[in-house]
Chain A
Amino acid sequence: MSAAAWARRYGALMRNAWMVDLQYRAAILLWVLWGLAEPAIALGIWWTIAGPAEVGGYDQAAFARYFFGVMLVNQLTIAWDSWYLDRWIRAGELNFRLARPLHPAHEAVADNIAYKVRTGSLMLVVWLFVALAWPAARLPFDPAHWALGAVAVLLAAAMRFCISFTTGLLAFWTTRATAIMELHSGISLFLAGRIAPLALLPPPVGALAGILWFRSTLAFPVDLLTGSVSGTGPLLRGFAGQIVWLALWILACRLVWRRGIVRYGAVGG
């Protein structure tokens, strides 16, 4: 199949995703508010704790940069696929998708791109207004660093998609695949750096976050954009972690899909 045919497919899938979004404008507004609220609350707490001093090397301005970075990167990398997959599998909505000459993962990828363009762009506008009004929230401007940051965000988005998709596929075996994703989300609140920069975690916990995939999914791209990570060694280690974990999650996703589809009961008509 030609590149033009793939572009038409992705274009049609994303177009439909946006048109469905337009039917749920209030829900989108609520999700944007939620995307703002979590880092804003965390920032408020650390802002108060830091006061005029520093905590773990972070002053109030550094916390502001970090959490506005979290707000932006989280929206650009978040993936809801485990909830969709769980419904597709358990309610039989996977059936017609399997009968089409397009792997269901493509629909999920197109949905993710559509979601991120829509919500990420709203967040970007919010962040630009905040950065204009509040110099402390501005990220250091360095085109090379931002280009690397974009690559790190892309890798993190791909990894979070694979994690969510793979977890959703567990619905082939269990009726509680989303509960596993909730657990992952709860752990990532701490280990991915959503609630606090990893440098503030107890050293063993911070080290665990670095060894596992959590840092690669959020904290590393945020640290890169805020300038907390620089120098060839840390950058290489950060990207190597992202690439290795992404490769492992892709493998896991393919393995779970192959095993699960053989087991599939195609329930519900």
Chain B
Amino acid sequence: MPAAIVAEQLSKTFRVKVRGAGLRAALGALVHPRYRDVHAVREASFAIEPGEIVGFLGPNGAGKTTILKMLSGLLYPSGGRVRVAGFEPWTGGAAFKRRITLVLGNRQQLIWDLPPEETFRLNRAIYDVPEPEYPERLAELVGLLDLAPLLDKPVRQLSLGERMKCELCAALLHRPSILFLDEPTLGLDVSAQDAIRRFILEYRERYGATILLTSHYMQDMTTLASRVLMINRGRLLYDGALDALVARTVRTRRLELVLGPGVSAESLAAFGTLRSYRPPHAILEVPREEAAASSARLLASLPVADLSIADPPIDEVIRHAFAEGAEPEEDGG
């Protein structure tokens, strides 16, 4: 089966006006405008198979959303090639747009003054969803997303989480096979985030959809993405499983201990780097390859009630990975 999404040497450069502060600079910019090129995406290449869930990882301004917008046909790339569902996105026309959906966490298509069902009905007409199938599809999405109590409330009266659930419903009525989700859990509380994640997994299970998502919440990545693309300053730094990224980036593991009576900080420090010491709890960091041996020695030498081996928190791992992959700012003139 051919890849659902292929990007080769994909690049996007924005030309932005440069203007200093103050009246003199403002007047000067009128006479001699100056520009600089901002390389939002630089020669990114990747292929995504049908049914995969892939997460884009990266700090603000890394180029994640720009890539999603190019893949969905909103932006014309400055260079490179893209095929999505067999189409070139910006020339694919209506046939391409029926195959995809784009959900933007902070720019929604729901009609603000009307109940969400009116947006659903509009999308039924725009996407030409067959009349007999519409009630069935709507009922399915309403059930999965638990939307029944929201259908007749004006969108402006819904909470952020309720709006995102309705947004997903509006975006999926035409049953797209490729989903571009930009920050789908942005600003939601923990239970709303969890509901969205469960829904995304369920949709993929039912329809075998290919899903690309960006998120700043690591929980989204660990729960949903079987593979991550790490991007920083427009450059793809890593493409692979999250576990492998952790193993590659992190050279230590954590021994999380519940101590017995009388174990001092000094005695623990002999086994590794002591990260935290709040008796009866303590955290030791040891070289990754020595984790098992250190644990055995520790249990034999000191009164330890409980011991577990863990990787450092994922946010810390990602921060570390970005720090390693970081490179100097490089903007053209």
Contact = CB atoms under 8 A, between A and B. Distances in A.
A248 to B, nearest CB: 26
Interface in A1-28: 1, 5, 8-9, 11-13, 16, 19-20, 23-24
B104 A13 contact: no
A9 B100 CA distance: 19
A92 interface: yes
B126 interface: yes
A269 B105 contact: yes
A111 to B, nearest CB: 12
Interface in A120-155: none
Contacts of B113: 19-20, 23-24
Contacts of B14: 265
A239 to B, nearest CB: 34
B69 A102 contact: no
Interface of B: 14, 65, 69, 72-76, 93-95, 97-98, 100-102, 104-109, 111, 113-114, 118, 121-128, 182-183
B97 A99 contact: yes
A99 B126 contact: no
How many chain A residues sit at the interface, stated as a range, is 20 to 34
Interface of A: 1, 5, 8-9, 11-13, 16, 19-20, 23-24, 91-93, 95-96, 98-102, 261-262, 264-266, 268-269
Nearest to A263: B76
A5 B121 contact: no
B102 A99 contact: yes
Contacts of A264: 74-76
A261 B100 CA distance: 20
Contact of B107 (A9, A20, A95, A100): A95
Nearest to A106: B126
B109 to A, nearest CB: 4
Nearest to A93: B107
Contacts of B107: 91-93, 95-96, 268-269
B76 A95 contact: no
A252 B126 CA distance: 27
Nearest to A22: B113
B98 to A, nearest CB: 5
A105 B122 CA distance: 16
Contact of A12 (B76, B122, B183): B122
A261 B69 CA distance: 13
A183 B105 CA distance: 36
B125 to A, nearest CB: 4
Please provide the 10 A-B residue pairs with the shortest distance between their CB atoms, ordered closest to farther. A101-B94, A12-B125, A101-B97, A269-B106, A96-B109, A99-B102, A23-B113, A8-B125, A266-B74, A269-B107
A232 B100 CA distance: 54
26 contacts: A8-B128, A12-B121, A12-B122, A16-B118, A20-B111, A20-B113, A91-B107, A92-B104, A95-B104, A95-B107, A96-B107, A99-B74, A99-B100, A99-B101, A100-B123, A100-B127, A101-B93, A101-B95, A102-B94, A262-B76, A264-B75, A265-B14, A265-B75, A266-B69, A269-B182, A269-B183
Contacts of B73: 98-99
Contacts of A11: 125
Contact of A100 (B97, B106, B111): B97
A5 B76 CA distance: 29
Contact of B102 (A1, A93, A95): A95
Nearest to A264: B75
A12 B134 CA distance: 15
A264 to B, nearest CB: 7
Given A20-B114, A99-B101, A269-B104, A9 B74 contact: no
A19 B69 contact: no
Contacts of B95: 101
Contacts of B118: 16, 19
Most-contacted residue by chain B among A5, A99, A102 (CB, 10 A): A99
A11 B183 CA distance: 33
Nearest to B121: A12
A26 to B, nearest CB: 14
